[in-house]
């Protein structure tokens, strides 16, 4: 990720090859530089390949819901440079890092978090963030190395109330799913939501 890139990962669950490039264009125009297509989306590997061809030289492009080494292998074969998981699988992390992918495995406990770092993860996905809660995250963050990049995922809305408390507690960025993108949303609606997330994030970092 570029040094000045916004640490906001767009999670496009349900996106299709027919609309992936149009959606990505809107997100990029609004300042996003990290895009994740969950593998349980329709023909996800095709969408990822299309994004890689269009954007990977400048952006983080890849897959979410990468739960097994076999899936990781398929994602890496597209040329992706981002692997996100809901779980912690040592081999998935190791394979991804060896392929020069940024890898953010899903964790919710100190044991999982420290194991992820030991395996070489680029950072950690706090998932589900809505279950751990802000107080749970504060406790987790207090024992982690200070430079660990933590991305809460799950239930993050584009509002000061939703985002600023996590940032104040030490979150590095966010993974943003259904509140940013649903397959039935119009491009105009996606743009509006993307802009709101960027503005709320920047209002914290520029305050």
DSSP H helices, 78-186, are: 90-98, 110-119, 129-143, 160-168
Choose, from 36, 90, 141, 192, the residue flagged as catalytic.
36
> 30 an active-site residue?
no
Strand, coil or helix: 186 = coil
> Which of 116, 36, 106, 115 is closest to 75 using CA atoms?
36
Which residue has tokens 């978090």?
113
> 36 an active-site residue?
yes
Strand, coil or helix: 9 = strand
Structure tokens at 2: 């570029």
Across 45-194, where does the E strand assignment appear? 60-64, 82-84, 102-104, 106-107, 124-126, 150-152, 174-176
Contact between residue 172 and residue 151 where contact means Cβ atoms under 8 Å apart: yes
Choose, from 91, 125, 168, 184, the residue flagged as catalytic.
125
* Phi, psi (rounded to 5 degrees) for 64: -115, 175
Q: What share of the chain is helix, strand, coil (3-state, %, to 5)?
A: 45, 15, 40
Residues annotated as catalytic are 36, 125
């Amino acid at each position: 990720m570029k040094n000045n890139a916004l640490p906001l990962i767009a999670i496009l669950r349900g996106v299709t090859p027919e609309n992936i490039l149009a959606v990505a264009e809107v997100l990029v125009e609004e300042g996003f530089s990290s895009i994740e297509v969950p593998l349980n989306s329709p023909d996800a590997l095709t969408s990822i390949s299309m994004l890689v061809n269009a954007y990977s030289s400048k952006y983080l492009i890849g897959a979410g819901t990468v739960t097994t080494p076999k899936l990781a292998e398929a994602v890496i074969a597209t040329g992706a440079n981002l692997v996100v998981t809901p779980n912690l699988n040592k081999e998935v992390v190791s394979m991804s890092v060896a392929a020069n992918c940024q890898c953010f495995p899903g964790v919710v406990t100190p044991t999982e978090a420290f194991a992820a770092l030991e395996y070489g993860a680029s950072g950690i996905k706090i998932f589900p963030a809505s279950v751990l809660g802000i107080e749970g995250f504060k406790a987790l963050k207090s024992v982690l190395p200070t430079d660990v990049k933590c991305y809460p995922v799950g239930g993050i809305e584009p509002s000061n109330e939703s985002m600023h408390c996590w940032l104040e507690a030490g979150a590095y960025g966010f993974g943003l799913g259904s509140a940013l993108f649903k397959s039935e949303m119009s491009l105009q609606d996606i743009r509006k939501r993307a802009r709101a997330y960027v503005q709320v994030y920047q209002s914290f970092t520029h305050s």
